[in-house]
Amino acid sequence: MSYLAERYIDPLTDFGFKRLFGTEPNKNLLIDFLNVVLPKTHQIKDLTYRNNENIGNTLVDRKAIFDIYCESAAGEKFIVEMQKAKQNYFKDRSVYYSTFPIQEQAEPGEWNYQLSAVYTVGILDFIFDDHKTDPAVTHVIELKNQRCEVFYKKLKFIYIELPKFTKTLDELESHYDKWLFLLKHLYKLDDKPEALQEDVFNQLFEVAEIAQFSRVERQAYENSLKYYRDLQNVVNTSRQEGRVEGLEEGRAAGLEEGRVEGRQDVALNLLRENLPLETVSRTTGIAIQVLEQLQQQLNQEN
C-alpha cells in the first residue's frame, strides 16, 4: 500500500510539521500561525530558529529536544511542540521544557535576573483527561495568585486540542479557524478550497504538495507517515480493548524512543544523499553534532 496517495502532506507527522514550520524559507508560516495564537496586542514581526537540542547545565541534567525552538526579534522564546498521543506527565514535561529557555538567559557575572518571555505552544492530537467536558479548543495557562490575577506575565502555556475542532470548511469564520482546519484536514484535500485562498495558505499548499518532493524527501515523509499511522492504530486498538490506561506508561517511553529512532533513520537516508548537515538538521530536528557522528558511521561503513 502506498502512503503517498494524497496530494498534500499530513502536518501532524514529524516530517510534515517541520517542513511547514521548521525551516527558514517557510518561517513566515510559523510567524502567521503564532500570531493567531498570541493576543492581538502581542504580534511577532520576525523570528530566528534556535538549536532545538538543549543540554542541562550539569552532567546530571537531562537534555530536552524540542520540535521547534525559536526566538522573536524582541527576544521572546517559543517552544512549539506537536504531540501525537497522550502520555503520562505531559504537563510536567511541558513545564520542564520551559525551564531550558529560561535558564539559558542567565548572564555571567553581575545580572539583574530580568527575563524575556517564554511561550510553550502545544498542538495536541488528543484531549487532556480533565478537559473532556470542556468544549474549549484552546487553553492558555498562566501563573496566577489566589484571586486569579496574573502573577507573572512572561510564562505562558498554550495548548490546542485538535480533536475538539469540528468545524467544516463552510463553517470557518476566522484566520485561526482556517489554521486549525488545515492542521487537521490538509492531507484530505485534493485542491485549494476557495475559502483558503490567502497568500500565506497559498504558500502552505505549495510547500505541502508531495509532487514537489525529491525522492529522498518522499521517502523521509513516507517513513514519518508510516510511524504516525502505526501509532494511531496502536492507540485505537488499545482504546477498543479497554487497555489504554494500563498501556500509558509503556507507550510514553516507547513513543519517545521510536521518535528518536525514526528521526535517525530519516537522517541517515538524507546523509547518504550527501545533503548538507544544516539541511538535514533542519529537516529532522537532530543536532549537527549528532549528525556528524552519524556521518562518521556511514563513512566507516563505506
Q: Is the pLDDT of residue 55 over 90?
A: no
Contact 210, 8 (CB under 8 A): yes
Q: Is the pLDDT of residue 251 over 60?
A: no
The grid cell for 45 is 514581526
In a domain, 278, yes or no: yes
Q: Is the pLDDT of residue 250 over 50?
A: no
Tens of pLDDT along 119-157?
Answer: 999 999 999 989 989 999 999 999 999 999 999 999 999
Bridge partners for 8 per DSSP: 209
Cα separation, 183 vs 169, whole angstroms: 13
CA dihedral 146, 150, 151, 157 (to 10 degrees): 110
Single out the residue of 228, 277, 281 nearest to residue 9, CA to CA: 228
Tens of pLDDT along 162-216?
Answer: 999 999 999 999 999 999 999 999 999 999 999 999 999 999 999 999 999 988 8
In a domain, 256, yes or no: yes
Average pLDDT, the chain: 83
Q: What's the average model confidence in pLDDT over 284-290?
A: 78
Helix (H) and strand (E) counts for the chain? Answer: 9, 8
Q: Is the pLDDT of residue 224 over 70?
A: yes
The predicted pLDDT at position 262 comes to 64
Angle at 20 between CA 15 and CA 23, to 5 degrees: 90
Q: Is the pLDDT of residue 259 over 80?
A: no
The predicted pLDDT at position 265 comes to 73
In a domain, 279, yes or no: yes
**pLDDT tier for residue 59 given thresholds of 50, 70 and 90:** very low
**Neighbouring C-beta atoms of residue 31, cutoff 10 Å:** 18
In a domain, 284, yes or no: yes
Cα separation, 136 vs 220, whole angstroms: 35
The predicted pLDDT at position 85 comes to 75
Number of alpha carbons in the 13 Å side-chain half-sphere of residue 222: 14
Q: Is the pLDDT of residue 1 over 80?
A: no
Domain holding 280, by residue range, is: 213-302
In a domain, 270, yes or no: yes
Q: Is the pLDDT of residue 287 over 50?
A: yes
Tens of pLDDT along 63-98?
Answer: 677 789 999 988 999 999 988 877 778 899 899 999
| Tally of domains in the chain | 1
Q: Pairing mode, if any, of strands 138-144 and 150-161?
A: antiparallel
In a domain, 65, yes or no: no
pTM for the whole thing?
0.75
**pLDDT tier for residue 56 given thresholds of 50, 70 and 90:** low
The predicted pLDDT at position 62 comes to 57
Q: Is the pLDDT of residue 283 over 60?
A: yes
Tens of pLDDT along 24-45?
Answer: 889 999 999 999 998 877 889 9
- State the distance between the two ends of the chain, measured CA to CA, in whole angstroms: 32
Q: What's the average model confidence in pLDDT over 234-251?
A: 52
The predicted pLDDT at position 225 comes to 85
Cα separation, 125 vs 112, whole angstroms: 40
In a domain, 196, yes or no: no
In a domain, 245, yes or no: yes
